[in-house]
Structure 1
């Protein structure tokens, strides 16, 4: 079973680096802060997929994982890097390509979404959360695959959206039942939760000038694949 089907990755260590959701952001302070790098996020996702094909699936997942990332599967969460060291690369790796990306205004966090295809014939949609590291590179802190009967059709162009960088987000905080982790500047929020006997929820919120918009909302019933 593929990583895109079997696991989701979330970095608890990244939570401490995230700021609380603010009601207002200082436009002058942004002149000295990092900006969104959508093209770099896309390039990293493509390089990750290429590394899986060329270097081996688990080798690539280990290389592109952030420190402290967790892999979440049927039996709960495991720490990514130690677990990956025990795995043997399959003869043929899962393949995937991004279709869209959302980024915080400062680029500290970004989310990609696209289609995956496993050698066993499984297909579906993946969602990945990327965190910018101290050296400027992006590493994933979360990866969540949603199996489907048919893989999503690839768009002509990869779409991208960057959070609002000016003014005040009207709602203050997203109205979310799922606990959220946020970017350093508080303009991108995401959360993943297992509820009850195994229902899973994954959401992503993006700050717009007019308020918060939920750009991703995935709900999987208990016992559904993965």
Structure 2
């Protein structure tokens, strides 16, 4: 995507058990095709209902975007009129955490009759209802259009090692008197905050991680507005850098 507000004007495998990486890892139930479907629906919605309408509908309550400074997306989008023509975009690849709670998508955008184009990176988080909503979206322009792949690729992080269950009768593993304790009913997830209730946003940094820690992200924003998004994941038995996006400081107004 192009930088700032203009930057935002853009924009696998089947479900089921997946190999979880090195021996001893959990089985993955990640479904990258769910985020591929979410990206495609997001892009269609922008053309059908308008760009900012689609961004707001697909954003998580605490999503952030860059216009060009980092802002709470739902606050910035609230009541914002759509541009006459929405940016078009296409996802090219998706990477998922082992547990499927966090995914990264990357692709290309095109805008206007002048042929402007660029790239975007979006982080998607699974919500309590099972749907995926984006929690960070950014991008920049590119010197040349990104080549379109023959198909959207998808990869899954290695799964963390299985937890070793204690054995009854072994130190620390004996069940409590009266038999095993019943699992407590999980608490209801808190209601998402309304845009007006969001706390002040740290303009210099933000980060997040999958529930199992197999995919993590951090964005750092310099005082001049330049930013770096770093995404790491667990792959081939070790933590690796998956993606680093660097966006230059916005040009001074005037």
Give TM-score, length-normalised by structure 1.
0.77
Q: Give the match for residue 46 of structure 2.
A: 52
Inter-CA distance 4–96: structure 2 relative to 1 (3 Å threshold): farther
Tell me how far 1:4 sits from its aligned partner.
Answer: 7.6
Q: Give the match for residue 84 of structure 1.
A: 77
User: Which structure 2 residues correspond to residues 94-109 of structure 1 after superposition, within 5 A?
Assistant: 94-109=87-102
Long gaps (5+) in structure 2: 10-23, 163-204
Q: Give the match for residue 216 of structure 1.
A: 243
Q: Give the match for residue 201 of structure 1.
A: 228
Q: Give the match for residue 7 of structure 2.
A: 6
Aligned-pair Cα RMSD in Å:
2.6
Q: Give the match for residue 23 of structure 1.
A: none
Inter-CA distance 92–52: structure 2 relative to 1 (3 Å threshold): same
Tell me how far 1:223 sits from its aligned partner.
Answer: 3.2
What secondary structure does 2:81 align onto? Answer: coil
- Return the alpha-carbon distance in structure 1 between the equivalents of residues 50 and 90 of structure 2: 16
Q: Is the 8 A contact 2:88 2:109 kept in 1?
A: yes
Q: Is the 8 A contact 1:5 1:147 kept in 2?
A: no
Matched, 1:37 2:34: no
Higher normalized strand content (fraction of residues)? 1
Tell me how far 1:116 sits from its aligned partner.
Answer: 0.4
Inter-CA distance 195–48: structure 2 relative to 1 (3 Å threshold): same
Matched, 1:159 2:186: no
Long gaps (5+) in structure 1: 9-25, 169-177
Which of 219, 230, 233 lines up with 1:192 in the alignment? 219
Inter-CA distance 211–180: structure 2 relative to 1 (3 Å threshold): farther
Q: Give the match for residue 112 of structure 1.
A: 105
Tell me how far 1:56 sits from its aligned partner.
Answer: 0.9
Tell me how far 1:179 sits from its aligned partner.
Answer: 6.8
Higher RCO (CA 8 Å, separation ≥ 6 residues): 1
Structure 1 segments, 4+ long, off by >4 Å, are 1-5
- Return the alpha-carbon distance in structure 2 between the equivalents of residues 66 and 167 of structure 1: 30
- Return the alpha-carbon distance in structure 2 between the equivalents of residues 209 and 200 of structure 1: 29
Which deviates further from its counterpart, 52-61 or 114-123? 114-123
Q: What do the CA deviations read for 1:202-221 (whole angstroms, capped 9, x no partner)? A: 11112113312212111223
Larger Rg: 2
